[in-house]
Amino acid sequence: FKGLVLATTMTAGLLRVSEAIPEMGSEQPPITFDDLVFRWSDDGKTLRYAELWVLPLKKGRQARKVPIKMKYSKGNVRAAHLLWLYSTLRAVPANEKSSTPLFSDFTFDDGAAADSGRHASGVTTKRTGNNFRIIDQGWFRQWYQAKMRDAGNPYWRCYNTHSFRIGGAT
């Protein structure tokens, strides 16, 4: 599920893999739960869009986070809906939303082994408590290529993590 949400969000938001899931030690800060905002209809019953605040990778050191709006859709790219489901499953306390990476390698098993590190942004990522390490880019690439291979695509090795940005732009 986490791979599907990440892939759909990257496609809808035209995200580079390092914007969505930066490597450990990178100066690119991870997207956190605080960076995700849902906009609802006036009656509060219908999700209108998800707004994801992202720091553009190639805008230099003075760059600021910008909002990417992903409209709720019943079409093929359902990023807003999937992000809402994902965030509902990942109940993060309000006081930890700014330090918990959105796209993290989580399980529902509290006995997960500790694995910690620190991004240059100061966000600590570990697999204990409510903070989890960011999804590994290698895992994500392997997950996606396995999906392509299992679907019978003979060119599955040609697809990589940049395919989502290319596909979204197309």
pLDDT for 109: 52
Which position has the higher pLDDT, 59 or 7? 7
pLDDT for 120: 46
pLDDT for 150: 95
What's 47's DSSP letter?
E
The pLDDT tens digits for 2-38 are 999 999 999 999 999 999 999 888 888 899 999 999 9
pLDDT value at 52 more than 70 = yes
pLDDT for 126: 41
The C-alpha atoms of residue 135 and residue 20 are separated, in whole angstroms, by: 9
Tokens of 142: 């392997």
120: phi then psi, degrees, rounded to nearest 5 = -60, -25
pLDDT value at 148 more than 60 = yes
CA proximity to 30, closest of 130, 125, 137: 125
- pTM of the entire predicted model: 0.81
Handedness of CA 83, 84, 86, 87 (dihedral sign): positive
The pLDDT tens digits for 77-132 are 789 999 999 999 888 899 999 989 999 877 655 444 444 454 444 444 444 344 46
CB-facing half-sphere around the CA of 98: CA atoms within 13 A: 3
- What pLDDT band is residue 167 in, cutting at 50, 70 and 90? confident
